[in-house]
Chain A
């Protein structure tokens, strides 16, 4: 029987009521007294020197309150990269300054070089048009290979070859890997592009800066996945505001998918502007600005090679990747193609030797950073495509090849040749489950039916692993991270026994308000309705690192679990005093503290009340109050894994691909709320299918964004997608966090693109077409052209 509350129940989401009645409160919904508006002047050129900016006409307009240019921020800090990566030659990566407003040069279309503050949005935008700016256009650097080869044309004048770093993982493995390739019976090679994507959270970015001249306090309302991280970056790195004088509030946030992890210059600008004019300053991006300036995702060009024997046993794997970081380093831009990508190149397989080389390249395009999956989809796509190609070359069954190369049950914990330690997993189990629920046995019949309708049916497989719950601070620090990656929670038991939990994680669609309350409810034995989860306001919550990398439950949930343990431990001391028993004899269960072996008990509410009205209380040895905080720093990443199958129908006349079915068998460890987990998988798979079939962010040779609106960037819509079959019943609980959870937010986007592409290639092969690869997105034009080449 399904549970109706607590851990494991599909509790309905409490946050839904406000969203369904129009009472959500997103940043753009907030109206403050005396509010003014910012508009940004954005570069029409991909690459140009700013010769001059004359602001006089704009400043003279009625209703204009202030104009800012890059010169106003020349003295303040840049927006830093979150990780410092070392190149193979031991040099530290190049980190050019990322200013609040471009100064001297603009480096991508949409790069903001000035901002106007005015009484209305319309006046601010008109005044932007009145700025008189003279640009000296420079050649645009768009193609990565050309950028690396070109020693004269530079995105940043001080970086000769436009390379941020040239990273090898693990450099010491390289010689052994190369030797294995030389002697390998078979080598499969594949060059592929992991297409650039625009995250497209439905809520455009927005920020409101508020400076209080009386207290000298700043407040920033902003669309952020991690308000404390934003506060740290704005305060300590960019603006030089004392951290305690800045309160960052991320209220309801309409999706993030990575794009709202990062600090953006607009946030610093509205704060600086509010300080100058003494009134709140609001900026809301329109969708065109979002396309131009939100950090994009993916954009890798990879050559992958797999060495094997003729029976399909993997012997070695190596890759060379060019990864685009765009014009400036966004906060996670350097870790995404390295430690979130190269370290995953073993996949779920026991490939003994792996070497990964990644060069990151500056170009005159928008910054590229983590987007749902962040490095792991790129790794999974490369591996699962080359494995499929190998199976075809050697005429081997893709299911059996995966099976025999899987890390086996008795090998955990398993140290990969790319330095991760997988604590647990059961890859055979998820593959077995997939074959069952995906009805592989019935495929031939379905294929025959499709053929009768004139369609080419194919079946594609992907077996994947990811690293989530990012991650141990000591480890990431050793690898170049500039922050810790713990999280924190404070459990405040109120005198009447209800509970407020302040968490460092941020919910922007994930349902934390519901799920975290379920965990508290189970642990303390009190109704979910008596528990509130507070997030998104740095003045209320402990210093946590926010939500990304499928980490909220594994890291922040674990912190909350530890804080609850402390609450229970203190409650036992109070109960022992009240019940005149030894502390060791108190047990806590079902919301009651009782003396073991007796019927003497106090309810949780009675203990809470006593903690705040301590008339009968051990004040000599115990502080009053019942509020506990825990910071949790994980011992390892978590390793969700799964097996996905996609069936497609290809129309041979048009090349159009239709998803006939999509099936997922996942191992997320313990599941707190199945309904929410399934929803996360659905959404991730939709984004993966979008990448595989529909979405592609493109710039022309001049660096103009040619996919800058919903008219020309193909978002997946309801009639592009199927109903999904998802299963999460294969469970190997995480061995190192108290909840045994792994994370489910990115899985769908990681596992699905290769399943789709493998299915299309399979359909074409079965139809006798010798097509070995098509780059994503697999548009009708690309598929038709490949079929008819």
Chain B
């Protein structure tokens, strides 16, 4: 067991963890942050994407001990301070960018990373960036619209390009 101190959604937490514990398990089982989902065992599906020091990372591909001292942000930290939906979350609701909700946390976290890096992406750039997040429900159409809307772009105009 190793003591790990990490900032999660702005709060410092310390826990003893085994060396083999993945960040995804640490968040879910150790901290009860079950919004980070586990949808595969090959780091393909993207349901567990979180931010580590601002970078989008699949939490199943990182050991919890390796994030000691880092700042981790999860879906539970994405709402506004007053509890209302953040811009990306609101865009997903407005554009029906989710159905069963299982891939959604990863989609939102990847979108946040995309828009931080590329504030006005084209439709093709959105699709390319989200390649690591699998959704089985939406056919991606409304996810792409939601991401474009969250970037402040006129959705029909961009989507028609």
Which residues of chain A have a CB within 8 Å of any CB of chain B?
A: 12-13, 15-26, 28-29, 31, 122, 200-204, 252-255, 257, 286-288, 508-511, 675-676, 678-679, 682-687, 709-711, 715-719, 721, 723-724, 748
CB pair B101 A717 closer than 8 Å: no
Q: In the complex, how many angstroms separate the beta carbon of B84 from the nearest chain A beta carbon?
A: 9
The answer to whether A202 and B136 touch (CB under 8 A), given A16-B92, A710-B40, A724-B141, is yes
Chain A residue with Cβ nearest B142:
A679
CB pair B142 A686 closer than 8 Å: no
Q: Which of B20, B39, B136 has the most chain A CB atoms inside 10 A of its CB?
A: B136
CB pair A686 B139 closer than 8 Å: yes
Residue B159 CB within 8 A of the other chain:
yes
Residue B134 CB within 8 A of the other chain:
yes
CB pair A679 B159 closer than 8 Å: no
CB pair B93 A12 closer than 8 Å: yes
Q: Which residues of A contact B157 (CB under 8 A)?
A: none
A18 to B35, CA, bound (A): 10
CB pair B100 A723 closer than 8 Å: no
Q: Sorted from nearest, which 8 A-B pairs have the closest CB atoms? A: A22-B35, A19-B101, A254-B102, A686-B139, A509-B100, A710-B44, A509-B99, A682-B139
A26 to B142, CA, bound (A): 23
A723 to B99, CA, bound (A): 17
Residue B108 CB within 8 A of the other chain:
yes
| Interface pairs (25), CB distance under 8 Å | A17-B85, A21-B35, A21-B78, A22-B36, A22-B74, A22-B75, A22-B105, A24-B101, A200-B136, A202-B102, A254-B103, A287-B40, A287-B41, A675-B96, A679-B99, A683-B136, A687-B136, A710-B42, A711-B44, A717-B130, A718-B143, A719-B128, A721-B127, A721-B141, A724-B141
CB pair B85 A509 closer than 8 Å: no
Partner pick for A202 among B35, B39, B140, CB 8 A cutoff: B39
CB pair B100 A203 closer than 8 Å: yes
CB pair B76 A203 closer than 8 Å: no
Residue B37 CB within 8 A of the other chain:
yes
Q: Which residues of A contact B20 (CB under 8 A)?
A: 122
Chain B residue with Cβ nearest A675:
B96
Q: Which residues of A contact B98 (CB under 8 A)?
A: 16, 19-20
Chain A residue with Cβ nearest B104:
A19
Q: Which residues of B contact A17 (CB under 8 A)?
A: 85, 93
A424 to B108, CA, bound (A): 42
The answer to whether A709 and B44 touch (CB under 8 A), given A22-B76, A686-B140, A718-B130, is yes
CB pair A20 B140 closer than 8 Å: no
A684 to B137, CA, bound (A): 8
Partner pick for B140 among A21, A255, A286, A718, CB 8 A cutoff: A718
Q: In the complex, how many angstroms separate the beta carbon of A204 from the nearest chain B beta carbon?
A: 7
Partner pick for B103 among A12, A202, A721, A724, CB 8 A cutoff: A202
Question: Given known contacts A202-B100, A686-B140, what 10 new A-B pairs fall within 8 Å (CB)?
Answer: A12-B93, A16-B93, A20-B85, A29-B34, A31-B29, A200-B136, A202-B135, A288-B41, A687-B136, A723-B159
CB pair B141 A682 closer than 8 Å: yes
Partner pick for A683 among B33, B99, B159, CB 8 A cutoff: B99
Q: In the complex, how many angstroms separate the beta carbon of A611 from the nearest chain B beta carbon?
A: 35
Q: Which residues of B contact A687 (CB under 8 A)?
A: 136, 139
CB pair B100 A201 closer than 8 Å: yes
Chain A residue with Cβ nearest B93:
A16
Q: Which residues of B contact A200 (CB under 8 A)?
A: 136
Q: Which residues of B contact A724 (CB under 8 A)?
A: 139, 141
Q: Which residues of B contact A24 (CB under 8 A)?
A: 35, 101-102
Q: In the complex, how many angstroms separate the beta carbon of A740 from the nearest chain B beta carbon?
A: 23
Q: Which residues of B contact A718 (CB under 8 A)?
A: 126-128, 130-131, 133, 135, 140, 143-144
CB pair B44 A15 closer than 8 Å: no
CB pair B136 A255 closer than 8 Å: yes
A31 to B32, CA, bound (A): 9
Q: Which residues of A contact B143 (CB under 8 A)?
A: 718
Chain B residue with Cβ nearest A23:
B35
Q: In the complex, how many angstroms separate the beta carbon of A717 from the nearest chain B beta carbon?
A: 5
List B70-108 residues whose CB lies under 8 Å from chain A. 74-76, 78-79, 85, 89, 92-94, 96, 98-105, 108
Q: In the complex, how many angstroms separate the beta carbon of B77 from the nearest chain A beta carbon?
A: 9
A623 to B123, CA, bound (A): 60
Partner pick for A20 among B32, B104, B124, B127, CB 8 A cutoff: B104
Chain A residue with Cβ nearest B32:
A31
Q: In the complex, how many angstroms separate the beta carbon of A691 from the nearest chain B beta carbon?
A: 13
Partner pick for B142 among A286, A510, A682, A717, CB 8 A cutoff: A682
CB pair B159 A257 closer than 8 Å: no
CB pair B41 A286 closer than 8 Å: yes
Chain B residue with Cβ nearest A680:
B99
Q: Which residues of A contact B93 (CB under 8 A)?
A: 12-13, 16-17, 20
Chain B residue with Cβ nearest A289:
B41
Q: Which residues of A contact B76 (CB under 8 A)?
A: 21-23
Q: Which of B35, B45, B89, B141 has the most chain A CB atoms inside 10 A of its CB?
A: B141
List B28-58 residues whose CB lies under 8 Å from chain A. 28-29, 32-42, 44-45, 47
Residue B12 CB within 8 A of the other chain:
no
CB pair A21 B102 closer than 8 Å: no
A64 to B119, CA, bound (A): 52
CB pair A287 B45 closer than 8 Å: yes
A579 to B125, CA, bound (A): 65
Residue B138 CB within 8 A of the other chain:
yes
A639 to B104, CA, bound (A): 32
CB pair B134 A717 closer than 8 Å: yes
A288 to B41, CA, bound (A): 7
Q: In the complex, how many angstroms separate the beta carbon of B156 from the nearest chain A beta carbon?
A: 10
Q: In the complex, how many angstroms separate the beta carbon of A718 from the nearest chain B beta carbon?
A: 4
Partner pick for B108 among A12, A20, A257, A684, CB 8 A cutoff: A20
Q: 0/1 per residue, B140-151, Cβ < 8 Å to A?
A: 111110000000
The answer to whether A12 and B94 touch (CB under 8 A), given A29-B34, A721-B139, A723-B141, is yes
CB pair A723 B131 closer than 8 Å: no
CB pair B102 A683 closer than 8 Å: no
A244 to B38, CA, bound (A): 34
Q: Which residues of B contact A19 (CB under 8 A)?
A: 98, 101, 104
The answer to whether A204 and B39 touch (CB under 8 A), given A509-B137, A510-B99, A683-B99, is yes
Q: Which residues of B contact A288 (CB under 8 A)?
A: 41
Q: Which residues of A contact B102 (CB under 8 A)?
A: 24, 26, 201-203, 254-255
Q: Which residues of A contact B108 (CB under 8 A)?
A: 20
Chain B residue with Cβ nearest A507:
B100
Q: In the complex, how many angstroms separate the beta carbon of A509 from the nearest chain B beta carbon?
A: 3
Q: Which residues of A contact B142 (CB under 8 A)?
A: 679, 682
Partner pick for B136 among A22, A25, A201, A676, CB 8 A cutoff: A201
Chain A residue with Cβ nearest B27:
A22
Q: In the complex, how many angstroms separate the beta carbon of B53 from the nearest chain A beta carbon?
A: 20
Q: In the complex, how many angstroms separate the beta carbon of B136 from the nearest chain A beta carbon?
A: 5
The answer to whether A252 and B144 touch (CB under 8 A), given A202-B45, A711-B42, is no
A201 to B37, CA, bound (A): 13
Q: Which residues of A contact B139 (CB under 8 A)?
A: 682-687, 716, 721, 724, 748
CB pair A253 B100 closer than 8 Å: yes
Q: In the complex, how many angstroms separate the beta carbon of B24 from the nearest chain A beta carbon?
A: 11
A356 to B19, CA, bound (A): 59
Q: Which residues of A contact B45 (CB under 8 A)?
A: 202, 287, 710
CB pair A22 B34 closer than 8 Å: yes
Chain B residue with Cβ nearest A15:
B101
Q: Which residues of B contact A18 (CB under 8 A)?
A: 101
The answer to whether A509 and B101 touch (CB under 8 A), given A200-B136, A679-B138, is yes
Q: Which residues of B contact A13 (CB under 8 A)?
A: 93, 96
The answer to whether A508 and B100 touch (CB under 8 A), given A710-B42, A718-B127, is yes
Q: Which residues of A contact B128 (CB under 8 A)?
A: 718-719
Chain A residue with Cβ nearest B34:
A29
Chain B residue with Cβ nearest A712:
B42
A682 to B97, CA, bound (A): 11
The answer to whether A255 and B127 touch (CB under 8 A), given A679-B138, A682-B138, is no
Q: Which residues of A contact B32 (CB under 8 A)?
A: 31
CB pair A257 B136 closer than 8 Å: yes
